[in-house]
Chain A
Amino acid sequence: MSETHAETVTFVRDTMLPPVLPPVGERGAVKWLRENLFSTPLNIALTVAGLGAIWWLVTASLPWWLNSVWNASSLGECRQIVAANAGEGATGACWAMIRERWHQFLFGFYPPAQWWRPVLSFGLLFAALAPVLFAGQKRNLSIILGVVAAYLLVTLYLASAPGLPFVLALVLIGGLLALAQMMPGRLLWFTLIYPALCFWLLWGGSIWSPIVAMAGFGVLYAVFRLASPLIGLAPAAGAGIVAAVLWWLYAEAPVVSALHGAFPIFLQSINSDQFGGFLLAIVIGVTGITFSLPIGILLALGRQSDMLIVKSLSVGFIEFIRGVPLITLLFTASLLLQYFLPPGTNFDIILRVIILVTFFAAAYLAEVIRGGLAALPRGQYEAADALGLDYWRAQRLIILPQALKVSIPAIVSTFIGLFKDTTLVAFVGLMDPLKGVTQIVRADIAWKGIYWEPYIFVGVIFFLICFSMSRYSMYLERKLKTDHR
Chain B
Amino acid sequence: MKKSVFFGALAATTLVSGVALAGTLDDVKARGELLCGSNTGLTGFGNPDASGNWTGFDVDLCRAVAAAVLGDPNKVKFIPTTGETRFTALQSGEVDLLARNSTWTASRDSELALDFVAVNYYDGQGFMVKKDLGVSSAKELDGATVCIQTGTTTELNLADFFKQNNITYQPVTVADDSEAQRQYLAGACDTYTTDASGLAASRATMPDADNHIILPEIISKEPLGPVVRHGDNNWGDIVRWTYYALLIAEEKGITKANVEEVLASTTDEEVKRLLGASGDMGAKFGLDNAAFKNAIAAVGNYGEIFSRNIGEGTTINLARGLNALWTQGGLQYAPPFR
Q: Name A residues whose Cβ lies closer than 8 Å to a Cβ of B.
A: 75-76, 79, 100-101, 104, 109, 112, 245, 248-249, 273-274, 331, 334-335, 337-343, 345, 347, 355, 426-429, 431, 436, 439-445, 448-451
Do B82 and A428 have beta carbons less than 8 Å apart?
yes
Interface residue from A76, A341, A440, A444 paired with B12 (Cβ < 8 Å): A341
Determine the distance from Cα of A436 to Cα of B38 in the docked complex, in whole angstroms: 13
Do A248 and B12 have beta carbons less than 8 Å apart?
no
Q: Mark B166-191, 1 if CB is under 8 A from A, else 0.
A: 00000000001110011000000000
Would you call B135 an interface residue if the criterion is a C-beta within 8 Å of the partner chain's C-beta atoms? Answer: no
Would you call B311 an interface residue if the criterion is a C-beta within 8 Å of the partner chain's C-beta atoms? Answer: no
Would you call B164 an interface residue if the criterion is a C-beta within 8 Å of the partner chain's C-beta atoms? Answer: no
Do B9 and A340 have beta carbons less than 8 Å apart?
yes
Q: Which residue of A lies closest to B10 (CB)?
A: A340
Please name all residues of chain A whose beta carbon is closer than 8 Å to the beta carbon of B8 when the two chains form the complex: 341-342, 345
Comparing B63-71, B198-206, B254-262, the segment that makes contact with chain A is B198-206
Determine the distance from Cα of A445 to Cα of B201 in the docked complex, in whole angstroms: 8
Contact (A443, B81) CB under 8 Å given A75-B205, A79-B207: no
Q: Which residue of A lies closest to B1 (CB)?
A: A248
Interface residue from A249, A273, A334 paired with B1 (Cβ < 8 Å): A249
Determine the distance from Cα of A131 to Cα of B181 in the docked complex, in whole angstroms: 49
Known: A249-B4, A343-B16, A440-B41. 6 other contacts (CB 8 A): A112-B51, A340-B10, A340-B12, A439-B41, A449-B202, A451-B181
Contact (A442, B178) CB under 8 Å given A335-B88, A436-B40: yes
Determine the distance from Cα of A426 to Cα of B83 in the docked complex, in whole angstroms: 11
Do A445 and B81 have beta carbons less than 8 Å apart?
no
A366 to chain B, nearest CB (A): 19
Closest A-B pairs by Cβ, 5 of them? A443-B41, A443-B47, A338-B92, A342-B12, A340-B9
B276 to chain A, nearest CB (A): 32
Secondary structure class of chain A's binding surface, majority of residues: helix
Determine the distance from Cα of A443 to Cα of B100 in the docked complex, in whole angstroms: 13
Please name all residues of chain B whose beta carbon is closer than 8 Å to the beta carbon of A355 when the two chains form the complex: 2
Contact (A104, B50) CB under 8 Å given A340-B10, A343-B15, A429-B85: yes
Would you call B5 an interface residue if the criterion is a C-beta within 8 Å of the partner chain's C-beta atoms? Answer: yes
Please name all residues of chain B whose beta carbon is closer than 8 Å to the beta carbon of A334 when the two chains form the complex: 85, 88
Contact (A76, B205) CB under 8 Å given A101-B50, A445-B43: yes
Please name all residues of chain B whose beta carbon is closer than 8 Å to the beta carbon of A431 when the two chains form the complex: 40, 80
Would you call B22 an interface residue if the criterion is a C-beta within 8 Å of the partner chain's C-beta atoms? Answer: yes
Interface residues of B in 142-174 (CB under 8 A from A): none
Interface residue from B4, B43, B88 paired with A443 (Cβ < 8 Å): B43
Contact (A343, B12) CB under 8 Å given A429-B82, A445-B204, A445-B314: yes
Determine the distance from Cα of A450 to Cα of B41 in the docked complex, in whole angstroms: 14
Do B178 and A449 have beta carbons less than 8 Å apart?
yes
Contact (A339, B16) CB under 8 Å given A345-B5, A429-B79: yes
Q: Chain B CB within 10 Å — which of A76, A338, A347, A436 has the most?
A: A338
Contact (A445, B205) CB under 8 Å given A245-B4, A248-B1, A341-B5: yes
Q: Mark B1-39, 1 if CB is under 8 A from A, else 0.
A: 111110011111101101100100000000000000001
Determine the distance from Cα of A442 to Cα of B177 in the docked complex, in whole angstroms: 10
Determine the distance from Cα of A249 to Cα of B230 in the docked complex, in whole angstroms: 35
Interface residue from A331, A347, A444, A449 paired with B47 (Cβ < 8 Å): A444
Q: Which residue of B lies closest to A244 (CB)?
A: B1
Determine the distance from Cα of A345 to Cα of B6 in the docked complex, in whole angstroms: 11
Determine the distance from Cα of A79 to Cα of B19 in the docked complex, in whole angstroms: 51
Q: Which residue of A lies closest to B182 (CB)?
A: A451
Do A443 and B42 have beta carbons less than 8 Å apart?
yes
